[in-house]
Amino acid sequence: MAGGFFILYPHGVWMQAAFDAVEPGASEEKVRVILGKPDREAIGCADHLYWGDDGHLLGGNDGSCHHSLWYDSFIEQWQVGFDLSDHAVHKYHYVCP
């Protein structure tokens, strides 16, 4: 940009704000609109279900979390898990130490 400048908005900051907007029970379609195209998709979820981070444990995964979408950034990952009816039942923000 001649004579101008721009500010880089870190992907992780934007992603965290979008991730925070995902509510329990949100449809997979709505999550894809909020977060965009996932970096990968997986069958299954973690052994324990959370809603955000370690401080928000929902309990063990009794099979209610069937599949998940993963969003990756430099040292962070965001996962949203869904039940068989494609509603969000788990979300977790992973950060590498």
State the residue range of the domain holding 87. 11-95
Rounded to 5 degrees, what are φ and ψ at 58? -95, -20
Q: What is the per-residue pLDDT for 11?
A: 60
Digit-coded pLDDT (tens) for 48-91: 999 998 899 999 999 999 999 999 988 899 999 999 999 999 99
Ranking 8-17, 28-37, 53-62 by mean pLDDT, the lowest is: 8-17
Look at residue 3 and tell me if it is in a domain: no
Q: What is the per-residue pLDDT for 53?
A: 87
- pLDDT-derived band at 4 (thresholds 50, 70, 90) equals low
CATH label of the domain that carries residue 41: 3.30.1450.10
Say if residues 21 and 31 touch (Cβ distance below 8 Å): no
Look at residue 47 and tell me if it is in a domain: yes
Cross-strand pairs, 84: none
